[in-house]
Homo-oligomer: A and B are copies of this chain.
Amino acid sequence: MLTIQSQSHPYSVEPFDGLDAALVSVSTGGVKCHYLIDQAFADLYADALAEVVATGRVVYVKASEEAKQFDSLSPVFLSLLRLGLKRDGLLVVIGGGVLQDIGCFIASVLFRGLRWALLPTTLLAQADSCIGSKSSINIGPYKNQLGTFYPPHRIMLVASTLHTLPADEIRSGFGEIIKLQLLTGEDGFRELMADCKEVPPRDPSLLHKWVLRSMAVKQPYIEADEFDKGVRNLLNYGHTFGHAYESASHFAIPHGIAVLLGMLTATFVSARVGLVPQEHFEELCGFLMPWCHPYQNILLGLPVESVLTAIRHDKKNTGEVINCILTRGFGRMEKTPVSLADVLAPAITSFIARH
């Protein structure tokens, strides 16, 4: 079990083998639980959730970008209040990133801050997003522009639910797992690659191992910089380019795979400006490209101009010099200002052309 420090409260990250044990653990202890559950997960795990459902204190949400709209939250708040959620209750959120965003936002503003527990069900949520406090909510055409910093009071990582995930979701989850190991240094990255003889791996105990390893890497970043004003920026390694690929492809590329392609782009740019030898980029390509399959083909169809426009519009960038996280090698990432026209445009053009 990890304990993570945060400005609002410390919180625990507890591993569980099975869903039943996690649900029993959270619902005992005298506090009245209400549940916010991803509809697709509830359909898949109806039997395991039967006792929870029997309480009548459940609200289901169909995960989508639309569900993350500010206006979509109103009926969720009202359902929870009508079902009797009180300020001394506990909101238990079960689902992936969308449910986490909605649950975090609701818990942070209901009664000016309600206790909540999170049971992340996707690999991406388990290995990365579940810690770090952030929620992101959409308003009209503005994506992820609303949000709060409000970690759950408890996070339960259940190994057994990972086996029902589709292969693409596992690849996508590994995008962030690989990123965290690249941030931590060469040994972790090589151990991870050696573990993954099958791409993507499906063995739940292997997935669970790398979920826990990811938490351990991410923890010091978010504890040192909860509000993302300094060292935590490094966790965005691969994200400036990844977000642009996601956006320019109209989200045809899953997030974690876009991050993998983004990290390769960042390494390619780093080699171009002389921060790393070209061989480092080539070696990483050999490791990471199999994880991107077949989405790297989508890159080829993207107009470079639409990728550059997306980079310009990224909320973290203003002007024609872009702050990118570049790399000097394993574990040596750093924020570097790069000219969009002189460096990024030709580098991205070359990167896309070679895949």
Return A77 CB to nearest CB of chain B, in Å. Answer: 5
B77 touches A146 (CB 8 A): yes
Report which of B110, B140, B227 forms a contact with A145, defined as CB distance below 8 A: B110
Report which of B7, B77, B105, B149 forms a contact with A139, defined as CB distance below 8 A: B77
B112 touches A109 (CB 8 A): no
Report which of B78, B87, B145 forms a contact with A111, defined as CB distance below 8 A: B145
A112 touches B134 (CB 8 A): yes
Chain B residues in 8 Å Cβ range of A113: 148-149, 227
Chain B residues in 8 Å Cβ range of A74: 70-71, 139-140
Chain B residues in 8 Å Cβ range of A78: 139-140, 142
Chain B residues in 8 Å Cβ range of A149: 112-113
Return A105 CB to nearest CB of chain B, in Å. Answer: 8
Q: How many residues of A contact B (CB 8 A)?
A: 33
A145 touches B81 (CB 8 A): yes
Q: Is A209 positioned at the interface, with any CB of B under 8 Å from its CB?
A: no
Rounded to whole angstroms, the CA-CA distance of A146 and B77 in the bound complex is: 9
Q: Is A188 positioned at the interface, with any CB of B under 8 Å from its CB?
A: no
Q: Is A147 positioned at the interface, with any CB of B under 8 Å from its CB?
A: yes
Given A146-B110, A148-B109, A148-B112 in contact, is the A77-B81 Cβ separation under 8 Å? no
Residues of A at the B interface (CB closer than 8 Å) are: 7-8, 70-71, 73-74, 77-78, 81, 86-88, 105, 108-113, 134-135, 137, 139-140, 142, 145-149, 227, 315, 318
Give 15 new A-B contacts, CB below 8 A, not counting A70-B77, A81-B145, A110-B145: A71-B71, A74-B139, A77-B146, A78-B139, A78-B140, A87-B315, A105-B109, A109-B137, A109-B148, A111-B145, A111-B146, A112-B134, A113-B148, A113-B149, A148-B148
